[in-house]
A = this chain, B = another copy of it.
Amino acid sequence: MAQPISKNTISSLLKLHQAKQRNEIRLFIAEGEKMVKELLNSSFKVKFVCCLSNFYDENSTALSEVFSYIVTEQELSKISLLQTPNQVLAVVEMPNAPDEKLDEKGIYLLLDGIRDPGNMGTIIRTAEWFGVRAIICSPDCVDVYNPKVVQGTMGSIFRMEILSMDLVKTISAFKEKGTDTIYGAVLNGEAMSAMKFVNETKVLVIGSEALGISAELLKLLPHLVSIPRSLQAETESLNAAVATGILLNAISGQ
């Protein structure tokens, strides 16, 4: 089913550009042909799509089970947050927060105040690559349904379990269950070598871009690890997503 879009609907979609309104309405935007197709194959519920009439004609089978608004290029660029809008975007229901299944074995990635949407998107994509069981974000992380985060995940956001929780409580819960393989990424920790215990639960904590892991959380972590730096290098740190990738590669022991 398809129909033209009204000005009123466009206005209400503009609300989704802001985190506060997005979280009230419980909807977010995902853009581009590839993202929308991955979305239609995921467990996420698509409220409707907005697409150019050409795109609708060429993809009528794929779009047969969702409601489509046919939009002009001008209308699409108004709704879109991309500099060069694609031909289609979807308005998607935010999933309910999944149950806190911290009991299952696997790798858990805890993010303490990641603020940059580009970093967050790349981290979610990287976590999927390494088979991370769940990502747990502190409440001061950037909203994972921020459009730049959604696009940066390249679709991984539709397949990863992502929770927002107090990290001090989360770490305590892991410790109560006897998990001691909890690693905080810092600048002056021990070098992390590849670990082959793939069946164990392992927890990796990554701090914010500017401040690292908060002091309160840091003192709860049994192991502090670092990525060795060349002696000649003067750069102070690695990008948060790059550091996450290097440490997940080591911790996944593949």
Contacts and interface: CB of A to CB of B under 8 A. Distances in A.
Interface of A: 118, 122, 125-126, 128-131, 154-156, 159, 191, 194, 227-236, 238-239, 241-246, 249, 252, 254
Within the oligomer, what is the number of copies of this chain? 2
Given A245-B238, A245-B242, A246-B249, A230 B130 contact: yes
Contacts of A234: 128, 155, 159
Contacts of A229: 129-130, 254
Contacts of A231: 131
A125 B235 contact: yes
Nearest to A231: B131
B254 A191 contact: yes
18 contacts: A125-B235, A125-B238, A125-B239, A129-B227, A129-B230, A129-B235, A131-B232, A131-B233, A154-B235, A194-B194, A228-B252, A229-B254, A230-B254, A238-B245, A241-B242, A242-B242, A243-B245, A246-B246
